Amino acid sequence: MPPRSNDDPRRHVQILPERVGNVSGNDFPGHYPGEDHSWNLKRFKENLIVSLQRLTPSTLEFDLVGVDASIANALRRVLIAEVPTVAIEDVYVWNNTSIMQDEVLCHRLGLVPLKIDPREMIFRENPNAGALDTDTVVFQLRVKCDRQPGTQGETDPKRKYWDSDVYTGMLEWEPAGAQKTKWKRKEPKPVNPDILLCKLRPGQLIDLTCFARKGTGADHAKFSPVATASYRLLPHIIIRSPIPLEHQQKFVQSFPPGVIGIEKDKRGQPQCVVKNSRRDTVSREVLRHAEFEDKVQLTRIRDHFIFNIESVGQYRPEDLVPEAIKILLNKISAVEAGLDKLFDPEV
Amino acid sequence: MAETSQVNITSGLDRAGTLQQSVSAGVIHDKITILPGHEPDYSACTFCLWNEDHTLGNALRPDVEFCGYSAPHPSDPKIHLRVQMYDNLSAVECLRKALKNLRELFQSIDSAYSKSLQQGKYIQEDDVDVRAVVAETLEERARAMDIS
């Protein structure tokens, strides 16, 4: 079977001046008479493309081609709400004389991303049972602000006081049970040590104990391992007829830089060509000008998803997708086990 | 004695109803149940999946006469999956097949992903240094102010 072409109109979502057209998928049985579109793993594998595009210490961009929107969306939803992380859940405030109320300070602590591998911890089964070293990580925060001696006339609080700013880096891990040996070289700590939690003035102090546990974004957004996990469809621009020389510069400027280029054709005439449609933001600017009417068609490829994932820091960005797929596979197994139980109560 | 005999005659069909009741009574529920009112031969059923949402519901729509899902209420952690079959085929078998296909699908995505990751044919670079960008922007702005 020849590789599928981006020019196949069946794969196009039309982008029209006032609306989008052909949004729904059409590759299901019974849609086209005489064509077999039933599920076929071999055919699926042939058409499937997963290709990483860009990887940085915190972000990942990859293409997922050849799947239905429901699959891409399932992946996105699991990344946001069901891949677990560890975050502060309970805070015991022994003393807090700062101007920030206890509950506000505790809420801020809960949102701090913690560098703890969630795969090495278990979910706390009963929230009323005692904490275990396998399901809880304890942090202490003890800060007191004091005046630095000999700083008369100084106006900068950083030079005038000690510990007037409370940062996440001041959270101190308190190992319990087997944790000390287990995390010898990767001690639990906040991902960013320089998040400002609160400000103090001489005499004010904070003394509290935090219990962090494993949870999912479905429960609270603080457990979400991604800052963003989103996808967009690959833009595809079709130039239907040559753009006249006098309009070429305007045509190029109707798109973001790098999308359209001007190249010499066989007869040495300059022509507008699509250089890199991935960079297009699909602003539809080109559709506003009468001179380009019927000369250009804007589309997107319906089954070409460009994923953008930004990790908060608990996972490496490239580890997030395999984790999400693992969770989806567990879901499937859970439903299968439920079906078995439904029809064979003895199991 | 009467109680044990009742358990013995409980078929899968009746069990679905019992489970439904146990759910409303606040007892720990099963992962999947069949709602009352299905065809006796299971050719048309509404499945009820607990602790699932659009993530699985939308991904799981097997090819049949009719198939759809709904979340009855956003506060209930469950979805209803309706499957109606042609030729009195079993909707339950169809769901099993759909689950199997879905597993194979995700496994192929997983292996294609790790293959692409290993090949390393992608741009690898550092994160944008926000502090440097801000400093540069401020500098540019200061220069623009000087000129004007």
Per-residue pLDDT tens over the stretch A284-329: 999 999 999 899 999 999 999 999 999 999 999 999 999 999 999 9
pLDDT classification of B44: cutoffs 50, 70, 90: confident
In chain A, residues with a C-beta closer than 8 Å to the C-beta of B115 are 50
Maximum separation of any 2 CA atoms in chain B, in Å: 98
Contact at CB, A335 and B15, closer than 8 angstroms: no
The answer to whether B76 touches B56, Cβ cutoff 8 Å, is: no
| Predicted local distance difference test score (pLDDT) of residue A88 | 97
Give the whole-number percent of chain B exceeding pLDDT 70.
Answer: 70
pLDDT classification of A114: cutoffs 50, 70, 90: very high
Question: Distance between alpha carbon B24 and the CA centroid of its chain, in Å?
Answer: 23
Buried b (16+ CB within 10 A) or exposed e, A311-332: bbbbbebbbbbebbbebbeebb
| Predicted local distance difference test score (pLDDT) of residue A25 | 82
| Predicted local distance difference test score (pLDDT) of residue B51 | 63
Contact at CB, B58 and A59, closer than 8 angstroms: no
| Predicted local distance difference test score (pLDDT) of residue A116 | 95
Answer whether B131 touches A (CB < 8 Å). no
Contact at CB, A57 and B55, closer than 8 angstroms: no
* Minimum distance, in Å, between the CA of residue B73 and any CA atom of chain A: 16
Average pLDDT score, chain A: 92
| Architecture of the domain defined by A85-224 | Beta Complex (2.170)
More confident residue, B52 or B98: B98
* Minimum distance, in Å, between the CA of residue A50 and any CA atom of chain B: 5
- What confidence tens digit (pLDDT) does each residue in B48-97 have? 877 666 656 555 555 577 777 888 888 888 888 888 877 777 888 888 88
Pairing of strands B66-70, A172-174: unpaired
| Residue B31 clears pLDDT 80, i.e. is over it | no
* Minimum distance, in Å, between the CA of residue A39 and any CA atom of chain B: 8
| Residue A253 clears pLDDT 50, i.e. is over it | yes
The lowest-confidence range among A29-33, A195-199, A232-236, B21-25 is B21-25
Q: Which of A49, A73, A82 sits opposite B58 (nearest CB)?
A: A73
| Predicted local distance difference test score (pLDDT) of residue B24 | 41
| CA angle in degrees (0–180, nearest 5) for A28-A33-A37 | 25
| Predicted local distance difference test score (pLDDT) of residue B107 | 96
| Predicted local distance difference test score (pLDDT) of residue A346 | 66
Give residue B111's identity as a one-letter amino acid code: S
H or E element, residue B4: helix B2-9
| Predicted local distance difference test score (pLDDT) of residue B9 | 34
Answer whether B23 touches A (CB < 8 Å). no
The lowest-confidence range among A226-235, B90-99, B108-117 is B90-99
- What confidence tens digit (pLDDT) does each residue in A116-152 have? 999 999 998 887 888 899 999 999 999 999 999 988 8
Residue B126 neighbours by CB under 8 Å, 6+ apart = A56, A57
- What confidence tens digit (pLDDT) does each residue in A34-44 have? 887 777 889 88
| Predicted local distance difference test score (pLDDT) of residue B32 | 79
| Architecture of the domain defined by A9-28+43-81+228-308 | 2-Layer Sandwich (3.30)
pTM of the full structure: 0.85
| Predicted local distance difference test score (pLDDT) of residue A108 | 97
| Domain residue ranges in chain A | 9-28+43-81+228-308, 85-224
Contact at CB, A56 and B125, closer than 8 angstroms: yes
Answer whether B80 touches A (CB < 8 Å). no
Question: Helices A69-81 and A317-343: crossing angle, nearest 10°?
Answer: 100
Query: Least CA distance to A337: which residue of chain B?
Result: B31
- Domain B12-123 adopts which CATH fold? Gyrase A; domain 2 (3.30.1360)
Global ipTM: 0.89
CA distance from start to end of chain A: 45
Average pLDDT score, chain B: 74
In chain A, residues with a C-beta closer than 8 Å to the C-beta of B12 are 342-343
The answer to whether A227 touches A312, Cβ cutoff 8 Å, is: yes
Q: What is the DSSP string of A101-165?
A: -HHHHHHHHHTS-EE--GGGS---S-TTSPP-TTTEEEEEEEEE-EEPTT-TT---HHHHEES-E
SS3 A177: coil
In chain B, residues with a C-beta closer than 8 Å to the C-beta of A313 are none
Query: Least CA distance to B50: which residue of chain A?
Result: A335
